[in-house]
Amino acid sequence: MTKRRLSSSLRLLPFIAIVAATPALAGGVPAGSIIENTASATYDDSGVERTVSSNTVEVMVEELLDVTVTSQDGSAVSIGSGSAVLTYELTNTGNGPEAFILTADPARTGNDFDPTVTGIAYDTNGNGIYDEGVDLLLGADNRTPVLNADDTLTVFILVDTPAGVNDGQTASVNLLVQAATGTGQPGTAFPGQGEGGSDAIVGATSADDDADGQLTAAVAAVTLSKSAVVSDPFGGNEVVPGATVTFTIVANVTGTGSFDAFTINDRIPDFTTYSPGTLTFGGASLTDGADGDAGSVGSNGVSVNLGTVTSGNSYAVSFDVVVN
């Protein structure tokens, strides 16, 4: 009953250990580590205390290939008629250093439009934002630098809008991440290709992962409508010589966003003559000369630079002509 006595005597003691928390490794014990196990025993041999140790068994920890990737964009990224950046974060959840092959797929089922991928880059200064000329583009092999176990890498997919995209249309861009050593069913082994001469073994993630980034097109559209009001010299609305025709051109901007330096040009109709000093923009008169204001009238007709026009607004330009 030695054991029982031992247990009960031990129970009287305060069994309190003070531990410093060891950092948890998501990927586990580093690849190439050797697990060693040895038991030892003490015993009483006819009054002589003896000790004995077992042999030491060793197990090498192989390299586990695992990776995760997530989109870092909180909501759909707005893309105008130019370019946009989608942000992803990949994590080496394996237990050894590994590089990853990245593939961007902009032609996803369900896309209203397929963006054009112009490059894949990674964050070199750790600010999580794409800095052109600072963050590096991947080479032709689309291979990341080697990431240590548990390290993360912020990745950017650079996209352009194709022609013909309408406001509000959406698109997904998929980033596929694959361990450079290889992928496959969990348990697939790549002998000798792990860290420290260990085998590389595909983990539960199949050594690949993918994530979608979302784009929403934010493009503005303009419709122009032109109307004419005739007033003849006799108080009527007949188009007769001497009648004045007031043309009004309305630019209606719809969608999302704006256009800069939006200019309306209209020529003076044949058999009519521009009526000087009648050019207006938004109800305010403009001078006819090519001077400091937005409008001018010349041999090619009238021209008004509306400046930046934004969606949800209408802009009216008018001028008078007299029928010859």
Size of the site for other proteins (CB under 8 A): 54
CB 213 within 8 A of CB 194: no
Q: Which of 2, 75, 299, 324 binds other proteins (CB under 8 A)?
A: 2
CB of 41 to other proteins, least distance (A): 4
CB 174 within 8 A of CB 152: no
Nearer to other proteins, 43 or 308 (CB): 43
CB of 34 to other proteins, least distance (A): 8
Q: Which of 73, 114, 167, 199 binds other proteins (CB under 8 A)?
A: 199
CB of 31 to other proteins, least distance (A): 8
Decide if residue 180 touches other proteins (CB under 8 A): no
C-alpha 98/C-alpha 67 separation (Å) is 10
What are residue 4's phi and psi, to 5 degrees? -65, -40
By the 10 Å C-beta count (0-12 exposed, 13-18 middle, 19+ buried), 18 is classed as exposed
C-alpha 138/C-alpha 257 separation (Å) is 32
Q: Among residues 147, 19, 136, which one has the least CA distance to residue 95?
A: 147
- Give the x/- contact pattern for other proteins in 14-53, rule: CB under 8 A: -xxxxxxx---x-xxx---x-xxxxxxxxxxxx---x-xx
Expressed in angstroms, the distance from the first to the final Cα of the chain is 127
Nearer to other proteins, 18 or 261 (CB): 18
Nearer to other proteins, 10 or 261 (CB): 10
**Amino acid at residue number 205:** T
CB of 197 to other proteins, least distance (A): 5
Q: Which residues contact 57 (CB under 8 A, 6 or more apart)?
A: 36, 37, 38
Nearer to other proteins, 2 or 109 (CB): 2
Residue reference for tokens 């000369």:
289
Choices 2-10, 102-110, 208-216, 304-312; region in contact with other proteins by CB under 8 A: 2-10
CB of 22 to other proteins, least distance (A): 9
**Residue 103, Cβ neighbours under 10 Å: how many?**
14
Q: Among residues 271, 225, 278, which one has the least CA distance to residue 248?
A: 225
Beta-strand pair 67-71/83-92: antiparallel
Nearer to other proteins, 45 or 260 (CB): 45
- CA torsion through residues 238, 242, 243, 245, sign: positive
CB of 80 to other proteins, least distance (A): 46
Scanning residues 82 to 111, which ones bind other proteins (CB under 8 A)? 95
Q: Which of 62, 98, 209, 288 binds other proteins (CB under 8 A)?
A: 62
Question: Which positions touch other proteins (CB under 8 A)?
Answer: 1-3, 6-7, 10-11, 13, 15-21, 25, 27-29, 33, 35-46, 50, 52-64, 95, 187, 189, 192, 197, 199, 201, 203
